[in-house]
């Protein structure tokens, strides 16, 4: 279990995160959902150990990781912009994080991830020759082969659309369930959060607005922000489709 206790962060005396308290069970998918600038990436980077928090504690399986450096925490992330290396091909990118970790994973296991993400046909391609969805899967494979204890994803679907988005979403779900891998996903899309996660943390202006299951968020929104920002966005989407095509499609 991952416990975040009273996490706070300031930049130049401005409060960015305040009093973040959260418990995430092993194998759960949790979305961090909130508007642009609300502190989602900052919180993800604090969990990873890349950004230092100013207050609070991070406890993982009863060990206090608050002062443990990033490399020793054993978590890993897919960054918002993927951060792939353009001079390397897809396969070289996938195994890049293993270069100092001989024996962590076997070649067979690496192949399993590659097959699971259907990347065999693309392994020799340079990053510039891949589509958005292929880049996303390479970034995911590169992170998974390091066998993280927690998988962190920053807006993994925002650059994708339609069918590709759905298929990556299904893959993330099955990875979390098959490997019992705790997964924390940043998104600003309510629909994505509701359909992907076991629990949703709604964050507004650096504070927790609500933490609950998709069912609870939809049926018992705990304040006006949740109602207005989250549910209204969904209603607007439906209303637009209704206006265009009528009841049948909305």
Ligand X SMILES: Nc1ncnc2c1ncn2[C@@H]1O[C@H](COP(=O)(O)OP(=O)(O)OP(=O)(O)O)[C@@H](O)[C@H]1O
**By CB under 6 A, residue 36 contacts ligand X:** yes
**By CB under 6 A, residue 37 contacts ligand X:** yes
The residues, any chain, with a CB within 8 Å of residue 168's CB and separated by 6 or more, are 133, 136, 137, 140, 156, 157, 160
Interacting stretch for ligand X, rule CB under 6 A, among 39-47, 174-182, 209-217, 238-246? 39-47
Interacting stretch for Mg ion, rule CB under 5 A, among 14-22, 37-45, 124-132, 200-208? 37-45
Q: Which of 218, 248, 204 is nearest to 40 (CA)?
A: 204
**By CB under 5 A, residue 42 contacts Mg ion:** no
| Residue bearing tokens 């990118």 | 93
**By CB under 6 A, residue 199 contacts ligand X:** no
Q: Which CB atom, from 176 or from 203, has the smaller least distance to Mg ion?
A: 203
| Candidate list 41, 45, 143, 183; residue touching Mg ion; CB under 5 A | 41
* Smallest separation (angstroms) from ligand X to the CB of 36: 3
| Candidate list 7, 16, 196, 201; residue touching ligand X; CB under 6 A | 16
Q: Which CB atom, from 33 or from 145, has the smaller least distance to Mg ion?
A: 33
Position with the least CB separation from Mg ion:
41
What letter does residue 198 receive in the DSSP assignment?
S
Q: Are 18 and 8 in contact (CB under 8 A)?
A: yes
| Residue bearing tokens 């290396």 | 85
| Tokens linked to 238 | 């439906």
What is the rounded CA–CA span in Å between residue 226 and residue 246? 27
């Amino acid at each position: 279990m991952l416990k975040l206790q009273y996490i706070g962060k300031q930049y130049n005396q401005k409060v960015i995160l305040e009093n973040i308290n959260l418990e995430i069970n092993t194998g759960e998918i949790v979305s961090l959902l909130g508007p642009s600038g609300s502190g989602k990436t900052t919180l993800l980077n604090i969990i990873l150990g890349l950004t230092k928090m100013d207050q609070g504690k991070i406890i993982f399986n009863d060990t206090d990781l608050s002062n443990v450096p990033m490399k020793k925490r054993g978590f890993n992330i897919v960054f918002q912009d993927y951060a792939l290396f353009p001079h390397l091909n897809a396969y070289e990118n996938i195994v890049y994080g293993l270069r100092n970790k001989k024996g962590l994973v076997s070649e067979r296991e690496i192949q399993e991830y590659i097959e699971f993400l259907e990347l065999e046909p693309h392994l020799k391609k340079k990053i510039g020759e891949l589509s958005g969805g292929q880049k996303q899967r390479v970034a995911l494979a590169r992170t998974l082969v390091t066998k993280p204890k927690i998988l962190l994803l920053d807006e993994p679907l925002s650059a994708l659309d339609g069918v590709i988005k759905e298929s990556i979403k299904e893959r993330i779900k099955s990875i979390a369930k098959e490997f019992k891998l705790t997964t924390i996903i940043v998104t600003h899309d309510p629909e994505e959060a509701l359909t992907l996660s076991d629990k949703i943390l709604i964050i507004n202006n650096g504070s927790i607005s609500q933490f609950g299951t998709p069912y609870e968020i939809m049926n018992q929104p705990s304040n006006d922000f949740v109602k207005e920002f989250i549910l209204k966005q969904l209603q607007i989407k439906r209303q637009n489709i209704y206006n265009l095509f009528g009841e049948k499609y909305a």
